[in-house]
Amino acid sequence: MSQYLIASDLDNTLLNAEHRVDALTRDTLRTLSAQGQVIVLASGRHYHDIAAIRRQLEIPAWIISSNGAHLHDSEDRLVNETLVPTALVQALVDMPRPPTVRLNLYTQDRWLIDAEAPELLPLHAMSGFTYQVDDMQHLEHEHVGKVLYIGEPALLEPLERILRERHGEMLHITYSAANSLEIMYRGVNKATALSRALKALDIPIERALAFGDNFNDIEMLTLAGNAYVVSNAHPEVIDQLPRARTIGAHHESAVARALRQFFVLD
């Protein structure tokens, strides 16, 4: 069998309703990896967050983290990294925001947040990776791959407009969920990282499968030769990807079931 690359988003795609990997998904990925297929965990999550999930899967997966700001191979080697310039990070930190909107920075090693947000912790229970509260006044030595605002959608929309007006040419701005406004440097998305992985592995786009559910997956799903969206995906994402196949919901092990059908595992 030819070697394929399988790239999947995590939250609301590969992970179940408890933000964990269920047994069918784990067994399917292990089987495919053992057959020589390349697994790529592609998420807006921090690298250390995803790496902890990979350890539990016990597969040699590549990792696309912070929506493409960092690309690591299956042996933890950094293949590519594109950071947000410090001056831009400082401008985003200094930008006024509603008091209930949480500002987050993903650095190379840490997840910084401007105030406690215990409601975020269940999302990361599987990995155990967590935030550190920081006043964000001394960022000159930080290496930031992603800036993230978390809050009510009605509060994020005005922030998004200001960001696009002031810094739109320098930033890639997207959503991973309705309450998660994500900012990377221009040109940074999951597709650019996936392209680098495909090139490094000498796998053609036609043999790439990608799975996703939200706006930060659109570029990756557009690039891949075989694109799949889960049925719980944002409706506008489904509309923007007419050639993508809609499969079941994330809590139904839809990615695993689609992979088992594609690779005839049952």
How many Cβ atoms are within 10 Å of 85's Cβ, its own excluded?
12
Query: Which listed residue (9, 22, 49, 114) is catalytic?
Result: 9
Q: How many CA atoms lie within 13 A of 162 on its CB side?
A: 12
The DSSP annotation for 152-190 comes to -HHHHHHHHHHHHHHHTTTEEEEEEETTEEEEEETT-SH
**Which pair of structure tokens corresponds to residue 177?**
């969920």
Q: What backbone phi and psi angles, to 5 degrees, belong to 259?
A: -65, -40
Contact by Cβ (8 Å): 120, 45: no
Q: Is 9 a catalytic residue?
A: yes
Angstrom distances, CA of residue 157 to CA of 92, 118, 163, 210, 222: 15, 23, 10, 28, 25
Indicate the Cα dihedral angle 36, 34, 256, 246, nearest 10°. 0
Eight-state DSSP code of residue 212: E
Angstrom distances, CA of residue 52 to CA of 56, 124, 205: 7, 10, 28
Query: How deeply is 218 buried, as exposed, middle or buried, from its count of CB atoms within 10 A (0-12, 13-18, 19+)?
Result: buried
Let me know how many helices (H) and strands (E) the chain has, helices first.
8, 14
Residues identified as active-site = 9
